[in-house]
Structures are given as C-alpha cells and as structure tokens.
Amino acid sequence: MSQDTFAIKSDPALWEKLDMDVERFSNIPPMLTGAYQGVFLEQKNRPRAMSYFDGMIENIFSGRIQEMAGAKEEGRPVVGTFCVYVPEEIVQAVNGVCVGLCGGSPGSIPDAEKVLPRNICPMVKSAFGFKVGRICPYFQVVDFVYGETTCDAKKKTWELLNEYVPTHVMEIPQMKRERDKRLWVDEVKDFKTEIEKISSKKVTYENLQDAIRLLNDKRRAMQRLNDLRHHTPSPISGKDMLLIQQIAFYDAPQRFTEKVHALCDELEERIAQGDAVAPASTPRIMVSGTPMALPNWKLHNIIETSGAVVVNEESCIGTRYYKDTIDENAQTVDEQLERLTERYMQIDCSCFTPNEERIGQVLKEYKASGAQGLIDYCLQFCHTYNIEAVKLRQMCEKEGIPFLAIESDYSQEDIGQLQTRVEAFIEQIQG
Ligand code: BJ8
C-alpha cells in the first residue's frame, strides 16, 4: 500500500450510534494515519501480503466496528477482554465475538488520571481512559467486558470500570499447584455458565469443538509465521510482525488465519529467492516482557530505525498468545474444558509464582529465533515483570546473552534516552 493512498477511515454516523465523543474522536484517524505512514509505510521491501493488514488498520474505526455492530444486531455477544487467560474459545462456541481492549495509546491517559492514581501501569490507564472519555469504538461496541485478577492494577480497576460498562471478573490463580488448577477449572466452568446466560445459547460439545479447532488453527498459523520470520536474513520486519500480532486481537479469526497463511506462502517464496527486509549482517534482537497493545510501536520503531531487526516477541502480544494449542481429542464437554484449562495454564505470565518455566521459554525462543541480544521491555509500574527481569538477566549472564532491561511508558519524553541505550546495545552486539 502506498503512503499517499493510505488513510484511516472515519464513520461519524456509526460513532454517534455508539455514543462516542464524536467531536473529539474525529481527530484520531488523521493523527493515527500520520503515525502509521511514518512507522510502517516508509519501510522498504515489505511483503505484498501486508496490504491486508494495512487495510485492517484503515478500517480499524469503521469496517471492523461495523462488523461487530452487525454481530450484535444478530444477537451475538461481543465481549471485551484484557488478558490472554480469558478463554476466547468459549465465547466463540456461542458464535460470539471476542476483542482485546488493552490500551496502547497515551491519548486516553489524561482521561484515566481524572479518576485513577497516576502511578499505575499505562496499559491499564490507557484502556480505562478510553472508556471514561468515550473515545474507543471497541469499548463502545462491546456488550460487556471480562477482566481477571492477574495484577493489582487490573483487578482493582475492574471495580471502577464496572461503573461505566458491565465488568465481570475471573479469578486467575497465582500458583500452578494441583489445587490451583482445580480452582482454575471451576473458574472456566463459571465463565462458560456466564457466557451461556448472557448469550442465551448453550455451549455444546460440537460448538466448543469447532471453536477449539478454529482458534487452534489461528494459533498454528501464527506459529508458522513466527517460525518463518526467524530465518536469517529476516523476510519480514519486527514492526510488521508486531502489527500482525496486535491485529490478532480484533480481527475475525477465520479470515485472519487465511491471511496469515497467505503471508506465510509469500515469505516462503521470499526466503527461497533470498529476498529479505535487511541484510543477513543486520543485528538481530529478541524482545521479551510486557505486552505492546495497539498503537504502541515505540520500542520496535526505535530498534529498527537504529539499524537492527526484531526477530521475536516473548509477550502476550507475541508468542505467549499462540505458542500452545488445545488437545482436540476430548470426548465430552467436561473433558474439553479440562484440556482447555491445561492449555491456558501453560501461559507463563509473571503474575504467577514461581514462574521458572518462563525463563526456560525465553531461552528456547531466543535460540530458535537466531537472536544476538535480548531486550526485556517492562511497562512502568508493572512490578511482576520488572522483578522477573532480574531472573532473565541472571539467565542471560549464565548463557552469555547480551541483555538490556528497559522500563518505559507511552510518552515521547524518554525516546531520546531509549534511542541512545538501544544504539549502545546494538554496538555491543556488533562487537
Ligand atoms: S497473561 S502479561 S495479558 S496479565 S503490564 S496490566 S501485568 S501492570 S498485561 Fe498481561 Fe494477562 Fe499477564 Fe499477559 Fe498489569 Fe503488568 Fe500492566 Fe499487564
């Protein structure tokens, strides 16, 4: 897609219907258009199949919202979530729509800070501010949201969010012992009951099996794509990969899967022809840590405009979302829920203690990606990821892996300082 023709579309009539602050929101599409052009469309030699994902961004505030509003009119539930622990297969089983609502923009933070304390995670503030300011069509289109008890910032914010939109909360255990797993199975069962009640539809063996297959297929497509991007030289940029992983949280699963496979087919051709986005000598960096919600492209943009390429994201907007699939061989609904729970318990969020498996997983992904250095990204005030970075550093020291820990928020203020640190890190890798 060319820089001149790309434009994020507006739909004020639809926004009005969704009770948005239309006047204020009207400034967002042109602003985001400019940012997107600068970050994505200036890249050289992007895969042709990226045009679909560019189109998803053009339609982010119009076409995709119309689809969700259409689903609602058909009586299908539209559910907002904030965490990859909320099992979307169950929403899908009743033909509902699941959308990730984590906030990645600084624009809504002043709205949040009218209510919330300032010194909490920017992702929580950004999401909350979108609802308070009525400046996110996704927040406006959902019937209800499902929060969870992962970190303190989130679980306390849900109590306040409930004053603006019906907010259900799922208890996530903090450990992974047998008794914690039993609690989690019960929570998943309660979630199913709640979704059935809200949608007036039953979760059956058949519709749950279809949903599990559909989302397993989506996760397998993402695994295929991530394996291909690990090739040296990289056939796709880290920024484009991050974008696709962000779009995974609001696109329709089947269509998304097809488009990811189409991109993979093209990447296979590029690899065969030696066609890459950067020479093989380009320093390769893996990023781990907290999720980067749309439109948080800050760190990837800094890394890739400093002459390196990002080759893996160990993150919930990254491999943590798709590295595991659900066993499809269950014979009853109860067994399906058990298998589903087992899959979800493999997510290694730092909210769990102990969480040794994450350290091993980061090392595994590091080796598979052909990275030459690890940057751990932590959103400000995220204590669990921040503290877990100590263990990552220890592991990197032991393995001889260059390591850099970064703590940041959504402001532009630290960009110069981050740029300097990232450039020094790249020099270190180059020796
Ligand atoms: S499974 S990473 S999506 S909780 S960055 S809001 S933890 S203070 S996002 Fe997450 Fe689920 Fe874990 Fe993944 Fe709190 Fe930390 Fe902010 Fe966070």
Q: Is residue 2 part of a domain?
A: no
CA distance 26 to 10: 7
Task: Give, using CA atoms, the residue closest to atom 15 of ligand 1.
Answer: 382
Ligand 1 geometric centre to CA of 304 (Å):
25
CA distance 396 to 350: 17
Q: Is residue 5 part of a domain?
A: no
CA distance 239 to 430: 21
Structure tokens at 407: 């703590």
Could you tell me the pLDDT band of residue 4, with boundaries at 50, 70 and 90? confident
Q: Is residue 1 part of a domain?
A: no
Q: What's the DSSP call for residue 39?
A: I
C-beta of residue 241 within 8 angstroms of C-beta of residue 312: no
Task: Give, using CA atoms, the residue closest to atom 4 of ligand 1.
Answer: 150
What Å distances lie between residue 66 and 31, 138, 369, CA to CA? 21, 10, 38
Asked if the model's pLDDT at residue 74 lies above 90, the reply is yes
Give me the pLDDT at residue 407, please: 98
Q: Is residue 418 part of a domain?
A: yes
Asked if the model's pLDDT at residue 119 lies above 70, the reply is yes
Q: How many CA atoms lie within 13 A of 40 on its CB side?
A: 28
Kindly state the average pLDDT of the residues 129-156: 98
The rounded mean pLDDT for the chain is 97
Q: Is residue 113 part of a domain?
A: yes
Percent of the chain with pLDDT strictly greater than 70 = 100
Ligand 1 geometric centre to CA of 44 (Å):
33
CA distance 353 to 95: 35
**Nearest to 409, CA basis, from 152, 36, 104, 83:** 104
Task: Give, using CA atoms, the residue closest to atom 14 of ligand 1.
Answer: 151
Q: Is residue 164 part of a domain?
A: yes
Whether pTM exceeds 0.85: yes
Kindly state the average pLDDT of the residues 404-417: 97
Give me the pLDDT at residue 431, please: 84
Could you tell me the pLDDT band of residue 395, with boundaries at 50, 70 and 90? very high
Kindly state the average pLDDT of the residues 40-60: 98
What is the number of the ligand 1 atom nearest to the C-alpha of 82? Answer: 3
Tens digits of residue pLDDT in 175-212: 999 999 999 999 999 999 999 999 999 999 999 999 99
Give me the pLDDT at residue 2, please: 67
Kindly state the average pLDDT of the residues 90-115: 98
Ligand 1 geometric centre to CA of 152 (Å):
10
97 DSSP β-pair partners: 78
- How would DSSP label each residue in 253-266? HHHHHHHHHHHHHH
Q: Is residue 6 part of a domain?
A: no
Q: To test ligand 1's pocket by mutation, which of 81, 83, 158 has the most ligand atoms within 8 angstroms of CB?
A: 83
Task: Give, using CA atoms, the residue closest to atom 8 of ligand 1.
Answer: 382
C-beta of residue 247 within 8 angstroms of C-beta of residue 256: yes
Ligand 1 geometric centre to CA of 430 (Å):
33
Q: Is 407 helix (H, G, I), strand (E, B) or coil?
A: strand
314 DSSP β-pair partners: 288
312 DSSP β-pair partners: 286
Give me the pLDDT at residue 347, please: 97
403 DSSP β-pair partners: 374
Ligand 1 site residues, Cβ closer than 6 angstroms: 83-85, 121, 123-124, 150-151, 153-154, 290-291, 316, 347, 349, 351, 379, 382, 385
Give me the pLDDT at residue 3, please: 72
374 DSSP β-pair partners: 286, 403
Q: Is residue 146 part of a domain?
A: yes
Tens digits of residue pLDDT in 269-318: 999 999 999 999 999 999 999 999 999 999 999 999 999 999 999 999 99
Asked if the model's pLDDT at residue 331 lies above 90, the reply is yes
197 lies in which domain range?
A: 12-430
Domain count, the chain: 1
C-beta of residue 246 within 8 angstroms of C-beta of residue 313: no
Task: Give, using CA atoms, the residue closest to atom 7 of ligand 1.
Answer: 151
Ligand 1 geometric centre to CA of 296 (Å):
15
Give me the pLDDT at residue 1, please: 64
Kindly state the average pLDDT of the residues 362-384: 98
